[in-house]
Structure 1
Amino acid sequence: MKRELRYGVAALRNRSALKLALWSVPEILPTALYGIAVARATDSFLAGHAWQGIAWLGGLVATACIGAAGSYQVYGRLGELVEPLRDDLVRRVVGGALRTGDDAAVARLNRQVEIVRDTFAGLVLVVRSFAVTLFGVLAGLLSLAPAIAVLVVPPFLLGFAASLAVLGLAADRVRASLQADEDLAAAAGMTFSGVRDITATGSEEFVEHFAGRPIEAQAAAERSLAKVAALRTLCFAVGGWAPLLILLAAGPWLVGRGVSTGTLLGGLTYVLIGLQPALSTVMGALGDSGLRYVVTLGRILSLQPPPERPLRGSQQSGAAIEPAGHQVRARGLTFAYGPAAEPVLERLDLVVAEGEHLAVVGPSGIGKSTLAGLICGLLTPTEGRLLLGGVPPSEVTAERLAGTRVLIPQEAYVFSGTVRENLDYLLPDASTSEVEQAVDAVGSAALVRRLGGLDATLRPGDLSAGERQLIALTRAYLSPAPLVVLDEATCFLDPEAERRAEQAFAQRGGTLIVIAHRISSALRAQQILVLDGNRATLGTHQTLLRASPLYRELLGHWQPEDRIQPAS
Structure 2
Amino acid sequence: MSDLSRLGARFLLRRRGTLVRLAAWSVLETGQTFLLGLALARALDDGFLAGRQGTGLLWLAVAALGVGAGALGTARVYGAVADLVEPARDALVRRVVARGVRDADGGAVSRLTQQVEIARDTFAGLVMVSRSFVFTAAGALIGLCSLAPVLLLVVAPPLVAGLALFLATLRPLARRQEVFLTADEAVSARLGTVCAGLRDVTAAGAEDATADAAGLLVDREARASRSLARWSAPRVLALALGGQLPLLLLLFTAPWTLERGVTPGALVGAVAYVTQSLLPALQSLIHGLGTGGSRLVVVLRRLTAYETGHRDGPAEAAAPRPGRPALEVSGLTFAYGPGAEPVLDGLDLAVPHGGHLAVVGPSGIGKSTLAGLVAGLLVPGAGEVLVDGYPARSREAAARRVLIPQEAYVFSGTLRANLGYLRPDGVPDDELAHAAEVLGLDSLLERLGGLDAPLGPAALAALSAGERQLIALARAYLSPAPLAVLDEATCHLDPMAEARAERAFAARPGGTLVVIAHRISSARRAELILVMDGRRVLSGGHRELLARSGLYRDLTGVWDGAPRPPSQPARPL
TM-score (norm 2): 0.49
TM-score (norm 1): 0.49
Q: Which has the larger radius of gyration?
A: 1
